[in-house]
Amino acid sequence: MFKLRRISLFLFAVSFILFSGCAEEEELERETLEPSPLPVTAAVVRVDVLYEVITSTGRVSSRRTQSLTAQIQGEIVQAPDYAGEEFSEGAVIFRVASGQHASNLSAANSEYRNAEALYQFEIDNYRGEITDGVRSMLRQTTGLESASASLSSARTQYGNSAVAAGFNGVISDVTAQEGMTVYPGSPLGTLVDPWSLQVEVDLDERQLAQCAPGLKAFVIIPSLNDTVLVGEVRSVSPVVDPGYRSGTVVVDVPHVPNLRPGATARAEIVVAEHEGSLVIPEQAVLIRDDRPMVFRVVDGHADWVYVTLGPAGRGFVAITENLAEGETVITSGHYSLAHDAPVAVVN
């Protein structure tokens, strides 16, 4: 009896060991068969305004530019010290010295004063009623009329020696320095208004037909870390360049610090707005079996869903079927995914 009990205990111990080993082996096999989750990035499906846009790259420019040129021959006696110097409207930027014009102005001033004194003497001593006709006659006979015209001409010529700013701005380049001899028409420099800016882009004739003044535009500035400015189309070229089959569109943009004329800009001109659209990032959409589809994230797994696409723009696309607001769709790491594959969202 005792011997039989020992045999029973022995058999129980062996069975327990075998069962435990099998259980551990099954657990290990299960762990081996379950792949590790694949890291992916994802976005939440949301309702928003979708903007259909025309995109083109162009340059920032100033709305106001003044080419500064010499009006008379002479030597430059005043010039800006450096490009970037600011000038107020009316301030003298360049001055050209001309002794002949200064001499002419002095002579014209003297002639005018003499004629004015003689005219006043004749008026004071005139016997009779002084009418407008009498005044005009005396201006002619005393030489005051011709002296006035000569003085005006001399002042204009002398004034041309000063090249002044037509608006508040900065010098963008200086092509003439003090001591240089210049002639009428010689370029001296350029004044720009850095606070009134615009972006000029060229669009092909089909895109041009969709544009009109007043349309909203998003302008991205790469040199300012892709800063996005909201502007407005100010003008659309009325003609198409026959060589390039394109035309220019000008977009007004607000001034921001460090935005300079000449900077590269990417304009996205809004041609249609769709309120209340169900939108997802465009990179979430893949094409499988010639049909658009996305992967939803459901309980840590990728769920393959075919979708119907609506309008697209600015990196987003509208979805009209098979997705709901608040669901999560995979945006990267999904090109080689299979349905029901385990995933881990890492963004």
Q: Are residues 200 and 59 in the same domain?
A: yes
Greatest mean pLDDT among 47-56, 73-82, 157-166: 47-56
Q: Which domain holds residue 81?
A: 69-98+161-192
Instruction: Answer whether 315's CB lies under 8 Å from 220's CB.
Output: no
Query: Do 329 and 186 share a structural domain?
Result: no
Task: Sheet containing 162-164: give its strands across.
Answer: 162-164, 92-97, 74-78, 181-182
* 1 pLDDT more than 80: no
Can you tell me whether residue 280 is helix, strand or coil? strand
Residues 173 and 140 placed together within one structural domain of the fold: no
CB atoms within 10 A of CB 301: 15
Q: What is the pLDDT of residue 221?
A: 97
pTM over cut 0.85: no
pLDDT in tens, 230-280: 999 999 999 999 999 999 999 999 999 999 999 999 999 999 999 999 999
Residues 155 and 264 in one domain: no
116 and 42 within one domain: no
| pLDDT, tens digit, 9 for 90 and up, residues 119-148 | 888 888 888 888 888 888 888 888 888 888
* Confidence bin at 19 (pLDDT 50/70/90): very low
Q: Is the pLDDT of residue 193 over 60?
A: yes
User: How many separate domains does the chain show?
Assistant: 4
Q: What's the pLDDT score for residue 30?
A: 46
Is the same domain home to 290 and 331? yes
Mention every residue, 6+ apart, whose C-beta is less than 8 A from residue 281: 43, 315, 316, 317, 329, 331
